[in-house]
């Protein structure tokens, strides 16, 4: 079977183009997010994967669950994915769609890893300095990970800024071995 990302990218690209044309990037982002949550649920996965269930029944159940929160275009996407046996790829499609949307809007996600929960001011100041450095709008996602011991580790795209105590200790250990 083909790699999931290879399957998801063309769908995401087509969705992004259509959403941009219809000027509803944010709305479709919400709808795709909702559908991703629905199909990622373990019970939903079991239902979708069950070969004894007809596609028409899958379609009916999924559309009924999301009916008031999706538009006709997303409804057609659901039907297409069910027809092509690719409904479980939806979370990956949503992920690629978000990447395309963020790139179009000049937004980059920063993964901020800290040992302790920071104050809102610390995070805001950090994001402001990252926006200056990368000259883009930054959306920060904070993760608490005690294994870094202290400091901060920031991942923006392919760039890693490791100012964590764990990173410094690892560097020191590597230097001493050489």
Q: What is the pLDDT along the chain (178 residues), one digit of tens a residue?
A: 468 889 999 999 999 999 999 999 999 999 999 999 999 999 999 999 999 999 999 999 998 988 888 899 999 999 999 999 999 999 999 999 998 998 888 888 899 999 999 999 999 999 999 999 988 889 899 999 999 999 999 999 889 999 999 999 999 999 998 7
114: CB partners within 8 A, 6+ apart: 142, 143, 144, 145, 148, 151, 152, 153
- Which of 123, 43, 56, 55 lies closest to 85 in space, CA to CA? 55
Q: Within a 13 Å sphere around the CA of 46, how many CA atoms are in the beta-carbon half? A: 3
Q: Are 107 and 100 in contact (CB under 8 A)?
A: no
Q: Which CATH number applies to 107-177?
A: 3.40.30
Q: Which fold has domain 4-102?
A: Peroxidase; domain 1 (1.10.520)
Question: Hey, do 4-102 and 107-177 end up sharing a CATH topology, with the first three levels equal?
Answer: no
Predicted TM-score of the model (pTM): 0.71
Domain residue ranges of the chain, discontinuous segments joined by +: 4-102, 107-177
């Amino acid at each position: 079977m083909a790699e999931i990302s290879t399957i998801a990218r063309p769908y995401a690209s087509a969705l992004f183009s259509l959403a941009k044309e219809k000027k509803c990037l944010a709305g479709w982002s919400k709808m795709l997010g909702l559908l991703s949550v629905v199909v990622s649920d373990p019970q939903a996965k079991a239902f979708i994967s069950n070969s004894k269930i007809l596609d028409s029944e899958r379609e009916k159940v999924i559309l009924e669950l999301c009916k008031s929160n999706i538009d006709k275009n997303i409804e057609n996407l659901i039907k297409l994915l069910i027809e092509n046996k690719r409904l479980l790829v939806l979370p990956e499609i949503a992920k690629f769609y978000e990447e395309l949307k963020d790139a179009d809007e000049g937004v980059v996600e920063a993964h901020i890893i800290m040992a302790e929960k920071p104050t809102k001011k610390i995070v805001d100041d950090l994001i402001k300095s990252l926006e200056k450095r990368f000259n883009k709008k930054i959306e920060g996602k904070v993760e608490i990970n005690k294994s870094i011991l202290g400091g901060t580790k920031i991942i923006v795209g392919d760039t890693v800024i490791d100012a964590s105590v764990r990173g410094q200790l690892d560097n020191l250990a590597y230097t001493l071995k050489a």
